[in-house]
Amino acid sequence: MICLVTEQLKFSEVPDNVTLQLGSTERIVCRADGKSRPVVRWFRDGRTVLPEHVSQMADGSLYFSVVESGDAGIYRCVATNEQGTINASVRVDVVG
């Protein structure tokens, strides 16, 4: 009898709701693991187009070079591989 164990697609680091300081540099981390390396994408308002000062890093984190008041909102981290898709939402508030 052969028993094959396959690592399930899951988040290894899930983003929490955050409050960012206006004008600061910030990073929101979202990491996933699975049988094959998942592709992580960020969405805001259902779109992958992010403002110029916000970029997605190779490790799946979301990087704000300078936080602006318009950055407040709901962001969604989506991880996908051949096992399927998982997602997590994070609320971003901006103060300052």
Domain locations along the chain: 11-95
pLDDT score for 48: 84
pLDDT tens per residue across span 20-71 = 999 999 999 999 999 899 999 999 988 887 889 999 999 999 999 999 999 9
C-alpha to C-alpha distance for 6 and 86, rounded to whole angstroms:
17
pTM, two decimals, is 0.87
Per-residue pLDDT at 90 exceeds 70: yes
Q: Which residues contact 29 (CB under 8 A, 6 or more apart)?
A: 13, 15, 59, 60, 61
Q: Which CATH superfamily groups domain 11-95?
A: Immunoglobulins (2.60.40.10)
